[in-house]
Amino acid sequence: MNDEIALVDLDDRITGYALKADVHRDGLLHRAFSVFITNGSEMLLQRRNVRKYHSGGLWSNACCSHQRRGEELEEAVHRRLREEMGFDCELSESFRFVYRTEFRNGLTEYEYDHVFVGRYDGPVTADPEEAEEIMWVPFGELKARLETSPEEFSSWFVISAPAVLASLERR
């Protein structure tokens, strides 16, 4: 939580940097990214480690994080995918969105989130400090679970996954 991450305005222009812990405590708008990985018919999900500072134990996309000071966004996306899931692959930015979630522990996610999508068919070695469990879920099953049990998923995943699934269906 000691990384300095990029603060942004609603046009995604960097306005400064602050420690990640302070950003989440103070609810500051910051740049983030979410990485979605498919194998063609299934999406890779991770159950966030229960000890994470928020959303622990919830299912989410392959990985997500923040751009650090002195790091380009593309560099951060690939770094974090390697760190959390033990692999890297070609990724393309699909869309962006802004959301705000306040958690019971007093922390706030107020993010300008860049959503990246990639395809990967190889082995996955998740960092247990980040992900307690991983699974590949067929698109149709995931869509149904999001509709019937959204409380099982992170707030940003509930917002962004339907758009990712819709874009994959159009391909």
Known catalytic residues are: 64, 111
The answer to whether the CB of 62 falls within 8 A of the CB of 46 is yes
Q: Can you tell me the distance from the alpha carbon of 81 to that of 146, in angstroms, rounded to the nearest whole number?
A: 23
Q: Closest Cα to residue 65, out of 53, 57, 132?
A: 53
DSSP code for 53: S
Residues 6+ apart with CB under 8 A from 55: 48, 103, 154, 155
Q: Can you tell me the distance from the alpha carbon of 164 to that of 169, in angstroms, rounded to the nearest whole number?
A: 9
